[in-house]
Structure 1
């Protein structure tokens, strides 16, 4: 099974559609890193529209106050963007960006940020780039080298057939990420007070949800405190609703 997987990874490098997709992933990640890095180098707060009382807003404010460390992060991100854009250094850029994206991935999910979907897409694109250059990574990962005709034959012709199965899996993966993000949290702070309060309309506990939004944006408490208060208020609201329901009459 491993040999077949390795052979598949070798084969896709000779298909132009996979090659186009790899270029697309490289450029997309490079643009994202370049924009993020330039904001930091300019000394501006990242996600300036995000409220300072938002859980991630607390983090961005604290990061901005670190001074030249903030600039250092920006320079590193711009360097990663440049590495991704140059074909010869694209693998180095993919390796360097992977721990950065893992860190952002965990951060955004732990703070229930609305941008978790985009970060997940970026991480998946980064993983594809690492798989794309797997043959070059094998010596680093200490995988046993094996010789086969497809890897050693310089006359192996490229293919132009469209990989329907692969891109169908890509679309299904993106849809799964969006769907899972919709249901994995019972409440989110949103990116603004209005977005948070709008999410209360369809909640089973609207009063507790509004109290959560007030705790985040008006009182400025941290996410953990507000979630604890939300769980208490939700239990009280659900308990009050259950008491208000008509009880069935007892049989004689």
Structure 2
């Protein structure tokens, strides 16, 4: 009887535990149309997710999509805010079942490839979904309305980052890039693995200063063109 009760309790709490365990980054490998090895990465933060596919050897960008997500038991429901391959999917809701192999492997039911956990949202200080809310131009700090349709978002797990520029009203995808990051002694360092606008940036490392002020992320240094920047990012609700 004791073992039966333990099993019932586990069956009740397991979906809740797995739902929480989705937070962080996951990766997988698949074969592309021309036989190339394609790396896929998906990052889940509270309420938002982003997935990207790129050539594992060259970093050549292939596609990305993302938006909101919710897990009810093993049923995943997503609503796309952007989709570089098929803009008509923006705003559409899609649901599918996922299955688990322990807590560190998952896949969509019916798919061959298992995604493996990269991290659980640690150790980086900036895990979450952020929208740019201010930027200095010609020395003046200019506010950016985070509620407008045109968005620049960064989603970070504990070790990975991806930024995306898009417009939810026009369904336009404008660009993305991503890779790994670290936060050490007030320094935020990006290591670029893919960049849709300029593949020559792949392999570059960029170091910035960062600080959290009243919940906002202050980001300063030089951009990928060597120009000074100061930005403020606000975490999404």
TM-score, scaled relative to structure 1: 0.20
More strand, by proportion: 2
TM-score, scaled relative to structure 2: 0.21
Q: Which has the higher contact order (CA 8 A, sep 6+)?
A: 1
In our comparison, the structure showing a higher alpha carbon Rg is 1
